[in-house]
Structure 1
Amino acid sequence: MTAKTLVPYLVSASLLGLASLATGALAAATPTTAVSAAPQAAAADLTKSQLGLYLTAKEAYQLLQNDPQAILVDVRDPVEIKFTGFAAGTHIHVPYQLTDITGWSDSAQTWPMPLNPNFDQELLARLNALGVAKDANIIIMCRSGATRSAPAVDRLARYGYSKAWSVTDGFEGGTEKTGPSKGVRKVDGWRNSGLPWSYNVPADVAWRGHSDKLTTK
């Protein structure tokens, strides 16, 4: 090979070498396995509130006995109260969710319970009417403490109420896990703890639907 033909050959070889190096570097930098998708955000724990204040039904009853200024709020649907009872001494009843009897769901095999769109206004109006202070002990109770009392506490926290408590076992309590009564709500809760309750709801406490006065201070 002459000098005249050697130079182009060397240049070509050099270019091929650089291309090979670049290809290798790119391959090394490219993942060999697919990157897994980011995990979906976990569902919110509806038993937890922003204030982090919790009581069992028995503890709630004791607080009501010890603090004359404490307020007990029931946030259950009126139909629940009609058939399962009402805690004696309840000061306020405003449902957090309401059963939509026109919205039967075939997949869920039940009726949906959308949020009460006036919950905040109705509850604030009741609290204002009773002259409840922002630092008063306000006890929120639903059926079992699973999905409504803690979110209702969060609503109050938005308006500056600093001592809103969620009743962790609610009015009906938890279900039996075994035995002939499996699935029946017989574990803890206000009604199962020997605390005073009735099927009668005082007229001045009962929720009257969206006709309730919604004025707030």
Structure 2
Amino acid sequence: MSEEYAGDISPKEAWKILQNSPEAILIDVRTEAEWAWVGQVDLSSLKKEHLLVEWNRFPGGVSNENFVEDVAKLVANKEAELLMLCRSGVRSKYAAIALTAAGFKTAYNIAGGFEGDPNEERHRGQVNGWKVANLPWVQG
């Protein structure tokens, strides 16, 4: 797989794109368990909703072989800016690459993801990511 995609952006850059581009869509590629137990972005202040499409299936972490098709069913406009989000920015990068290869024009990876990289004690949510950037999110 080619490593071509629109590139990495910070959570705050993603927020600005969501604010300024009516067509921009955030796609959370984490698992159902992560959405339920860790939390999700809250785009209600922007009068937007994000999409939930697993890159890997829960339980078991098996690849979602229908990922591109699942996104294509939800996003008709291949010109829309897609902002891909996962826990730390790894799965979302691969998702952005896959969507770009499938013909979506602009698929970004949100670097640092929702929870960010682990700190020296291996705890997430303290170094970088959506939550550390103090962007809106909800839990439960």
Superposed counterparts of 1:54-65, under 5 Å: 54-65=8-19
Please report the RMSD computed on the Cα atoms of aligned residues, expressed in angstroms: 1.8
Alignment-mate amino acid for residue 145 of structure 1: G
Q: Is the 8 A contact 2:10 2:112 kept in 1?
A: yes
Q: Residue 78 of structure 2 aligns to a residue in which SS?
A: coil
Give the TM-score normalised by the residue count of structure 2.
0.87
**Aligned residue number for residue 137 of structure 1:** 81
Q: Using the alignment, how far apart are the partners of 1:118 and 1:169 within structure 2?
A: 25
Structure with greater proportional helix content: 1
Q: Is the 8 A contact 1:74 1:140 kept in 2?
A: yes
Q: Using the alignment, how far apart are the partners of 1:51 and 1:79 within structure 2?
A: 27
Q: Residue 64 of structure 2 aligns to a residue in which SS?
A: coil
**Aligned residue number for residue 73 of structure 2:** 125
Structure 1 residues 188 and 52, CA, compared in 2 at 3 Å: closer, same or farther? Answer: same
Number of aligned residue pairs: give it.
134
Q: Using the alignment, how far apart are the partners of 1:49 and 1:195 within structure 2?
A: 28
Q: Using the alignment, how far apart are the partners of 1:189 and 1:71 within structure 2?
A: 18
Q: Using the alignment, how far apart are the partners of 1:69 and 1:52 within structure 2?
A: 16
Q: Using the alignment, how far apart are the partners of 2:67 and 2:102 within structure 1?
A: 13
**Aligned residue number for residue 27 of structure 1:** none
Rg bigger for which structure? 1
Q: 2:112 matched to 1:156?
A: no
Q: Is the 8 A contact 1:141 1:166 kept in 2?
A: yes
Q: Residue 130 of structure 2 aligns to a residue in which SS?
A: helix
* 1:77, distance to aligned residue in structure 2 (A): 0.2
Paired-residue identity, %: 32
User: Is there any run of 5+ residues in structure 2 with no aligned partner, and where?
Assistant: 44-48
Q: Using the alignment, how far apart are the partners of 1:57 and 1:123 within structure 2?
A: 21
Superposed counterparts of 1:6-45, under 5 Å: none
Q: Is the 8 A contact 1:76 1:95 kept in 2?
A: yes
**Aligned residue number for residue 53 of structure 2:** 94
Superposed counterparts of 1:175-214, under 5 Å: 175-177=118-120, 182-185=121-124, 186-200=126-140
Structure with greater proportional strand content: 2
Superposed counterparts of 1:56-95, under 5 Å: 56-89=10-43, 90-95=49-54
Q: Using the alignment, how far apart are the partners of 1:140 and 1:120 within structure 2?
A: 13
Say which structure, 1 or 2, has more relative contact order (CA 8 Å, 6+ apart).
2
Q: Residue 175 of structure 1 aligns to a residue in which SS?
A: coil
User: Is there any run of 5+ residues in structure 1 with no aligned partner, and where?
Assistant: 1-43, 101-111, 201-217
Give the TM-score normalised by the residue count of structure 1.
0.58
Q: Using the alignment, how far apart are the partners of 1:136 and 1:121 within structure 2?
A: 16
Q: Is the 8 A contact 1:153 1:165 kept in 2?
A: yes
* 1:159, distance to aligned residue in structure 2 (A): 2.3
